[in-house]
Amino acid sequence: MISVLVLWHQHQPFYKDLITGEYRLPWTRMHGLKDYYGMAAMLEEVPEARVTINLVPSLVKQILEYASGEARDPVMQVAFKTADALTRDERIFALTWLFQANYEHLIARYPRYKQLHGIFAGAGAQPERALALFTTQDIADLQVLSQLAWVDEIYQQNDPVIRALAAKERGFTRDDQVSLWNKQQELLGKILKAHREAQDRGQAELTTSPFYHPILPLICDTDSNSESHPGASLPRRFHHPDDARMHLDRAVKLHEEVFGVRPLGLWPSEGSVSDQALALAAEAGFRWAATDEGVLGRSLRLGFARDSHGVPEDASRLYAGYDLATAGGPMRLFFRDHQFSDLVGFVYSKMDPHDAARDIVARIERAAASGGEDALVPVILDGENAWEYYSESGREFLRSFYRAVTRHPRMQMVTGSGAAALPARGTLTHIVPGSWINANFDIWIGSPDDHRAWNLLSDARDFYESRISEEREGRREFSDTQRELAMEELLIAEGSDWCWWYGPEHHSHNDADFDRLYRSHLSNVYRALGEPAPLELAAPLTRQAERVFHAPPRAFVSPVIDGRVTTYFEWLGAGLYSPDHTTSSMHGRRFYIDQLHYGADDDNFYLRLDFLPGVLDSLGKTNSEIHVRIGGGNAEPVELVAHLQQGARKHGTVDVCVGRIFEMRVSFASVGLRGAFCVTFQVVLVEDGLPVDMAPTEGWLTMSPAVSQ
């Protein structure tokens, strides 16, 4: 029997400033509306399904405050304020924030929202420039639609108030805002209840993480990264295992208060484990934990390289649980299959949901067959970020996936504790410290910005300890409130989320907000104990985030389709789209396309793709294709497919050549267009039947008629 352990990790950073009481960013509320409720509630549709849902305490704490009406974030306040009462600055704020949503699956779902986005994009996506183009009714419609788009699919499909608002589409009034506000509060109040109901039905095991999502091995001792990455530079040593213990103990306490049972399973933040961290977890009463296959591989000194079908070497070693004897007691460990988790996170969103479900079940069956009888296959990933890229928040894929597994004659879905009841593969005497990203901690401690962040945390922690020591000696006196507030802010600052955005690996629209919030939490440690924060906390730690570069065509082009840049001038005047390879909110996505060039002459559309080094060589060894979706005017989009094989060839009326670059010529007549039409297009790279990269990653590129004039 193949046991499939599905674990959804649900987490948001702690966005609240404890001194001001303000929630700086809206993402707990937004994902609460769109993802968390439905992830638990939809299990009723597949009664045989069994999953594990990990709820980070910092997320639970924020959901409780939103549900009670205590939490207020700036986006909420602007979105639900009467449009004609908004100040100029508030309108600019609305235009800055209310289009921050997935274009294809949230914005374009509502024709009026899409229209408003087009006006905004036409002003260069610059709020100050766009302001004059938006009437008060435009703003009112944007307020409602931007919040409606994030409402859970169950409500979208079944709730009469939400369906009526969607059907109205435009001309929204204050009464509509109030109706949506009430539904929002209703939905936020159901999130934790739905999880507890799924738990009580036996469909979901609820687990937890260290309270504010710290990288626990680094809180225990930042020097542990020396074993994970020998020779890597480190910040000043941070060594506070008592803080790590506090994160665990408080997590257990809150979980028991909210869900009525003591958690047995732990998802360590970012899958980060070490012997010391797991010993503390065992002391806190946890009986099992999970991390990544890379950590197992390093601990066993073997690899899990995949064959052409995705089956790992040493599959029998991967698809099983292991017992670890720690100083705090025994722990059962599971190790996620990295490939399956990344397919759900980054690939299946581009496929038909039923095809995607069939694909992963077939892959699990094939891989488990190499793992021997009674294989245990863990699929573990975020329970919110991936769904932005799926239609209907991934619900149809999940239904199909759950049903396919539960109806399979040789598969069963198990929770973490169900998996822990199965026999272990063996015993580990030592776990190499690491996380689910590259089996080390470099993301959080590897860059100079990370080092600065850790050193500032050390300064604040040392400051706290020195002042509390002075109080013990009778030289100072603090109230319980002061001490508790200072420690709370330290624990928040120990969370992993701040350093996730420092360094070169990840960037988002909100880099500066995360940086500012981190420095606010550290500053509050000093403020809580009656002293001003160090001036260095006023300086941003982040470097300037890179952006996608996009320049539209400036002139006609008629390049030779020969798979190389024949002359410098043949693509001169073409449009250029260069993806930013550092802006994904989720780690693990591989990029293939470096630059996209496009243009036209009177009769043809031209496309050129430049790939990152080595990509074309590797793609040439697989069954890889370029899919170009092209449309415009009143014509329905046409999908053109070209194989990535070296040489020149014709695909119907399309000329293609693959050499050092990919070049394509498409006659306008062949796709039902004339050159004067506005042309929209999108490029998708498919490798062995799986879409693996897209340009642009959201929406379509547009070539306006102006290029022909």
pLDDT (tens digit, 9 = 90+) per residue, 46-84?
999 999 999 999 999 999 999 999 999 999 999 999 999
Write the DSSP symbol of residue 63.
H
Banded pLDDT at 545 (limits 50, 70, 90): very low
Nearest to 376 by CA among 288, 474, 248: 288
Coil, strand, or helix at residue 524? helix
pLDDT (tens digit, 9 = 90+) per residue, 168-185?
999 999 999 999 999 999
Separation CA 165–CA 173 (nearest Å): 11
H, E, C per residue of 583-598: CCCCCCCCCCEEEEEE
* Residues 206-213, mean pLDDT to the nearest whole number: 98
* Residues 99-125, mean pLDDT to the nearest whole number: 95
Separation CA 120–CA 103 (nearest Å): 13
Q: What is the pLDDT of residue 709?
A: 42
Coil, strand, or helix at residue 617? helix
| DSSP output for 481-522 | HHHHHHHHHHHHHTBSHHHHHSSSS---TTHHHHHHHHHHHH
Higher pLDDT, 542 or 213: 213
| Token pair in block for residue 283 | 């002391």
Q: What is the pLDDT of residue 589?
A: 59
Separation CA 467–CA 456 (nearest Å): 17
* Residues 259-285, mean pLDDT to the nearest whole number: 98
Query: ω into residue 696 within 30 of 0, thus cis?
Result: yes
Share of the chain above pLDDT 90, in %: 79
Banded pLDDT at 632 (limits 50, 70, 90): confident
Higher pLDDT, 707 or 333: 333
Higher pLDDT, 283 or 547: 283
| DSSP output for 202-231 | TSEEEEB--TT-B-HHHHH-GGGHHHHSTT
Q: What is the pLDDT of residue 703?
A: 86
Banded pLDDT at 583 (limits 50, 70, 90): low
Least confident of 171-175, 373-377, 569-573, 685-689: 685-689
Ranked by mean pLDDT, the top range of 397-411, 498-512, 518-532, 587-601 is: 397-411
Separation CA 381–CA 52 (nearest Å): 11
* Residues 414-440, mean pLDDT to the nearest whole number: 96
* 609 backbone dihedrals φ, ψ, rounded to 5°: -120, 125
CA angle 287, 288, 290 (to 5 degrees): 160
Separation CA 280–CA 295 (nearest Å): 19
Q: What is the pLDDT of residue 640?
A: 93
Coil, strand, or helix at residue 322? strand
Coil, strand, or helix at residue 112? helix
CATH topology of domain 205-428: 7-stranded beta/alpha barrel (3.20.110)
Q: What is the pLDDT of residue 98?
A: 98
| Token pair in block for residue 265 | 């399973």
Separation CA 10–CA 281 (nearest Å): 19
Question: In the predicted model, is pLDDT for residue 317 greater than 70?
Answer: yes
Q: Where are the domains of the chain?
A: 23-49+57-200, 205-428, 474-538, 549-708
Share of the chain above pLDDT 70, in %: 96
Whether domain 549-708 has CATH 2.60.40: the reply is yes
Q: What is the pLDDT of residue 195?
A: 98
Q: 326 and 282 in contact (C-beta within 8 Å)?
A: yes
Write the DSSP symbol of residue 618.
H
Question: In the predicted model, is pLDDT for residue 605 greater than 60?
Answer: yes
Banded pLDDT at 546 (limits 50, 70, 90): very low
* Residues 387-413, mean pLDDT to the nearest whole number: 96
Mean pLDDT, the chain, integer: 93
Q: What is the pLDDT of residue 653?
A: 78
Banded pLDDT at 303 (limits 50, 70, 90): confident
Write the DSSP symbol of residue 311.
P
